[in-house]
Structures are given as structure tokens and as C-alpha cells.
């Protein structure tokens, strides 16, 4: 049985691994920029990067091993172009879009100097959407989506990440109660604060008084 279904099982297992790793990577990424602090922050960035790269590697195995499945015989276009395949068309297309987004947005980290850090940062936020799409793909099309072990494993990493995502976006909508002090417009100097004048020396009067 294993021989016949080897590629199919490999694709499913790597898909599950990719989902779990991507969830962890997104979770640590949210923890990096959010208000929730986990562990030592200097180590969070390399951990986020390592998890992201591992998720991309698992994603690659997920797609490539599907090409070897002797039953479905999908073409490269079927697994790379949305709506090209007739097999589970909607959820498969969702998965393909999510995979492309994860790949492009994830690897854009290494081109952020060329893109511009601010632009890259605003682009990188879309990774959360790609992750949500991949969760939808797994639950909608995944053959094991109804299994207890699958739901337990996915719940353990997806739910905390989802909470962090909600916390991040809820934070954007909270009303800032303390108003910041009024800032002077750029290009205009603020008058220096008056310094306490030292008391005049009793021996001689100030020289300005003479003129």
C-alpha cells in the first residue's frame, strides 16, 4: 500500500508539516512586532526566519511530490496555476494562491534592501492573508481534515497564531486615550526653556546696567 501511495502520502505529510511550520513562523513573526513578548527577543528573528524557510521547503516537497502521484497525474500547470486543475478546483486554487504568496512574500525578505524597508514591511503583512488561505486550503481540501489528530495538531499552532493576529489587528482599532503633547511643525524651532538666572553677585553690579 505504501509503495502505491508513496507520493500521495508524502504530499499529504509535507502539506501538514508546511501548515504547522508556517503557522509557527507567522506566530513568531507576529510576536516579533507585537506587544506580546515571548522569550528572548534577539532570538525571535532567526527563529522566525528558520521556521519560514522550513515551511517553504515543506511546501516545495508538498507540491513536487504531488507531481509524482501515479493516480492523479497532475501536470505542472495543475499544481502551479490557479483554476487550471479540475480536481477540487476551488480549494486547490486557494492553496496555489497561498503557496505563491508565501513564496514571494517570504523570499522578499532577502530583497528588502532593494524593495525598501518600509515598502517591504507593508508587503510582508500580507503573509498573514496567505497563511489564512493555506489554513482554508488544508481544512477545505485536506484529506485528513476530519481526523482528530489533524485537528488537534493544527489547533495547537493555528489557534495561538490566530489569537496573536486578532490581537495585532484589534490593537490597530483601539482608541488612544492619552493625547500626545502638541508638536511643533517641522522647520520651526521651539523656544528654549528659560533657564533659572543665577543671583547677581553682591560685590559688583551687572555690566548691562551701566550702559
Binding site for other proteins (CB under 8 A): 1-2, 5, 8-10, 12-14, 16-17, 20-21, 42-43, 46-47, 50-51, 54, 57-58, 61, 71-72, 86-92, 140-147, 149-150
Cα-based distances in Å from 164 to 53, 89, 105, 106: 21, 31, 20, 19
Which of residues 46 and 181 has its CB atom nearest to other proteins in the complex?
A: 46
Q: Which three cell numbers stand for residue 190?
A: 521651539
> In whole angstroms, how close is the CB of 136 to other proteins at the nearest point?
9
Which of residues 16 and 162 has its CB atom nearest to other proteins in the complex?
A: 16
> In whole angstroms, how close is the CB of 59 to other proteins at the nearest point?
11
Whether 48 and 32 have beta carbons less than 8 Å apart is answered as yes
> In whole angstroms, how close is the CB of 8 to other proteins at the nearest point?
7
The residue assigned the cell 504530499 is: 11
Which of residues 85 and 114 has its CB atom nearest to other proteins in the complex?
A: 85
Which residues make Cβ contacts (< 8 Å) with residue 140, sequence separation at least 6? 90, 91, 94
Name the nearest CA neighbour of 98 among 123, 126, 130, 124: 130
> In whole angstroms, how close is the CB of 172 to other proteins at the nearest point?
30
Amino acid at each position: 500500500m505504501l509503495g502505491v501511495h508513496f507520493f500521495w502520502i508524502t504530499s499529504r505529510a509535507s502539506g501538514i508539516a508546511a501548515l504547522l511550520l508556517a503557522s509557527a513562523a507567522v506566530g513568531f513573526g507576529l510576536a516579533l512586532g507585537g506587544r506580546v513578548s515571548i522569550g528572548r527577543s534577539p532570538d525571535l528573528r532567526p527563529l522566525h526566519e528558520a521556521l519560514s524557510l522550513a515551511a517553504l521547503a515543506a511546501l516545495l516537497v508538498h507540491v513536487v511530490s504531488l507531481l509524482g502521484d501515479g493516480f492523479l497525474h497532475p501536470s505542472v500547470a495543475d499544481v502551479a496555476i490557479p483554476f487550471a486543475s479540475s480536481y477540487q478546483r476551488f480549494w486547490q486554487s486557494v492553496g496555489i494562491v497561498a503557496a505563491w504568496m508565501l513564496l514571494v512574500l517570504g523570499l522578499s525578505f532577502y530583497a528588502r534592501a532593494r524593495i525598501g524597508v518600509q515598502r517591504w514591511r507593508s508587503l510582508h503583512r500580507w503573509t498573514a492573508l496567505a497563511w489564512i488561505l493555506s489554513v482554508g486550503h488544508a481544512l477545505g481540501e485536506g484529506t485528513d481534515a476530519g481526523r482528530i489528530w489533524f485537528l488537534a495538531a493544527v489547533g495547537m499552532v493555528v489557534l495561538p497564531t490566530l489569537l496573536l493576529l486578532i490581537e495585532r489587528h484589534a490593537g490597530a482599532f483601539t482608541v488612544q486615550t492619552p493625547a500626545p503633547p502638541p508638536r511643533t511643525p517641522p522647520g520651526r524651532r521651539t523656544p528654549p526653556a528659560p533657564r533659572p538666572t543665577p543671583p547677581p553677585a553682591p560685590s559688583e553690579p551687572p555690566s548691562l546696567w551701566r550702559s
